[in-house]
Structure 1
């Protein structure tokens, strides 16, 4: 809604009272210093105060307010009362009209009222016999125009300030929502991957507890290591929420290493522990640190992590998974294919897993295609690379420590 600064009652009351005091004192003073003018009586004072009263009581009916104020000042002058501050009441009404309600309507009514006012004033001056000077009338009209121009500038300035505050508040809300979404993605990726791995290793440990104590002990050790890494990652995410830039020990070292595509094979350990063969085909040119900007390497890392997690959770028949990461031209291509066969649960469910992957890829300006493939499920992402791929970029998210024995989740739930 288009509102002006005088749509509120308090500033309007302040202006009306101040104007009433100025008009009252000024009218008595003008009557004393203008010989031949009619002495101010109750009628004259009442006519002079119509403007301040209308300013306070009729802000929602600007046309009626202008007509009443102009009619009162015209009658006041026609009856021979003194020139001077009595005109200020009507000018105050015009300013009030200009600073209330929709701006376009306010301008039309205020400037039309100014023309009407000075037409009435000139007509009233013609009925008087005190030799009113044309110069005085022109000066009064000029001051009226100045008052309206100042009021217009004030309104426009206040409107720009309000628009700037609204835009800033909107930017802050957007930033908060974006940060919440990023943190939710990080927590999902960390916990889904690590808890899935713990679940797999716990199952292995229970299965081998009576038959192979050494293997069961190895599974428990893997559970301990995975849970420790998961806690470190959760602390890192919470550190971002609290604005902590270091590891909490007073040093400036981050809690987690920089994204590194060379660490991708470690994501396959949970699947390999279940007997699934995971093959990586990563372009060697992408492996050196800095070959891919950190934030884009992070997106690729999370896509592979989530795809492998989904294989572990939803493709129990999968025996082979192929991960391909290649850079060609100005694109980084990531593909994960398994042979787990068709699965409606994997292809149809839309939840945090695939949604998070898609948001990450699209946030980097790329595209994600996930669905049934030739023998199972296929995830393919294309991510634009900057012209200078050697330049490091700010990390979209803190990368995980090397998960040990984690099982990922193609979870979309």
Structure 2
């Protein structure tokens, strides 16, 4: 069943359950519902608690006001947690000083302390709870002769450990929730960062694909258009052949661009056609021949089936290298060498040059005279998008890509694409 029809209580892998998201949610409007619930608990619970404590002072109007004032501070517990915890503790101390029955009067103190600790106000909680406990000790053991109810005696010291243990347990539980809340926030931030990284990587991948497809095809179209314009009057049949090549190159470019766009429109679906690989190398050589470039392809070593990532990267690197030769080199011949090793494929594309006068349309600088710079795992020459794309494709597989002038003249593109890392990525 698709995610859009998943039950609302179902949880995905790596996501926290609904109660964790509820605890981690930021403060919004005033918490009226929970505050009224605590107020009702204190009013009703204290009424029934007074029935079993006839030795305590009866609940009068002032006691009812105190039982309502404590929960009233809870409305501020998200925006001003320190004020809420000190306010509830002060109201509770007044209630205890009036000699009223023990009962759920401590509920507002518990809620405010819990919220303040989760918000990181631990010092305020310990100070407020400590003052409340100290006030209770003064009332129960020193000030009881002058406070209601009349005839009351000192409280037992042994009974003081129970409320102290409850206070420590409450603060400890709140501290645990605070730590878990920070962990959930950190995990959500990491998932968001991973999603942004995946989106950036996908955007760069699409940009590389579109650049390689369009740069190669438009270069062929540009050359053939120039041939057609030059021969349209004197040799119309040759001009017709150039137009035929333009039509074929534009059709192929449209097909590959449509394939890339389909992956954007239907995320998660498999592409309708397989990604290009070295099995389409003959198409590149035919297109290069139509542009006036003779390409010789040689293979060394036993040919093995390449992983999809390495196969696509090798095809795109050869395609970009031939495109650069057509656009920037005066040579009309190129040599492509594929060396199949036990753990990697080495791709080398050479041309004899010399460089044509002009600049790279990608960057506005000559790609034939630029210097080599080392970045990341490989060496790449120039700042053109195509040459940078070669490095990125090779680096994504754990390989290297180099491009630069040859000692004997001309230009060379060399890439090493390992098999192991690409198999891990595509598995």
Q: 1:376 aligns with which of 410, 414, 419?
A: 410
Is the deviation greater in 293-302 or in 344-353? Answer: 344-353
Contact 2:224-2:291 within 8 A present in 1 as well: no
Which whole-Å CA distance do the structure 1 matches of 2:159 and 2:107 have between them?
A: 15
* 2:250 aligned counterpart, secondary structure: helix
RMSD: 3.3
Which whole-Å CA distance do the structure 1 matches of 2:296 and 2:247 have between them?
A: 26
Instruction: Report 1 or 2 for greater relative contact order, CA contacts < 8 Å, sequence distance ≥ 6.
Output: 1
Which whole-Å CA distance do the structure 1 matches of 2:292 and 2:29 have between them?
A: 77
Matched, 1:120 2:128: no
TM-score in terms of structure 1 length: 0.77
Contact 2:277-2:314 within 8 A present in 1 as well: no
Cα–Cα, structure 1 residues 159 and 218, in superposed 2: closer, same or farther, change >3 Å?
same
TM-score in terms of structure 2 length: 0.75
Cα–Cα, structure 1 residues 394 and 95, in superposed 2: closer, same or farther, change >3 Å?
closer
Which whole-Å CA distance do the structure 2 matches of 1:85 and 1:257 have between them?
A: 69
Contact 2:299-2:340 within 8 A present in 1 as well: no
Is the deviation greater in 304-313 or in 163-172? Answer: 163-172
Matched, 1:226 2:249: yes
Cα–Cα, structure 1 residues 319 and 143, in superposed 2: closer, same or farther, change >3 Å?
same
Contact 1:318-1:340 within 8 A present in 2 as well: yes
Report the number of matched residues.
Answer: 374
* 2:133 aligned counterpart, secondary structure: helix
Task: Write out per-residue CA displacement over residues 112-162 of structure 1, whole angstroms, 9 at most, x where no aligned residue.
Answer: 543443333233222432564556544444444444444444444444444
Is the deviation greater in 304-313 or in 370-379? Answer: 370-379
Task: Write out per-residue CA displacement over residues 282-312 of structure 1, whole angstroms, 9 at most, x where no aligned residue.
Answer: 22523x5x1x223212111111110110111
Matched, 1:269 2:286: yes
Task: Report the counterpart of residue 167 of structure 1 in structure 2.
Answer: 190
Task: Write out per-residue CA displacement over residues 191-220 of structure 1, whole angstroms, 9 at most, x where no aligned residue.
Answer: 221122122222222322333333233222
Task: Report the counterpart of residue 237 of structure 2 in structure 1.
Answer: 214
Which whole-Å CA distance do the structure 2 matches of 1:164 and 1:63 have between them?
A: 27
Q: 1:285 aligns with which of 275, 298, 302?
A: 302
Q: Please, which runs of 5 or more residues in structure 2 have no aligned partner?
A: 1-22, 145-151, 358-364, 371-381
Task: Report the counterpart of residue 45 of structure 1 in structure 2.
Answer: 64
Contact 2:353-2:411 within 8 A present in 1 as well: yes
Is the deviation greater in 360-369 or in 10-19? Answer: 10-19
Contact 1:303-1:357 within 8 A present in 2 as well: yes
Which whole-Å CA distance do the structure 1 matches of 2:389 and 2:25 have between them?
A: 49
Q: 2:36 aligns with which of 13, 17, 21?
A: 17
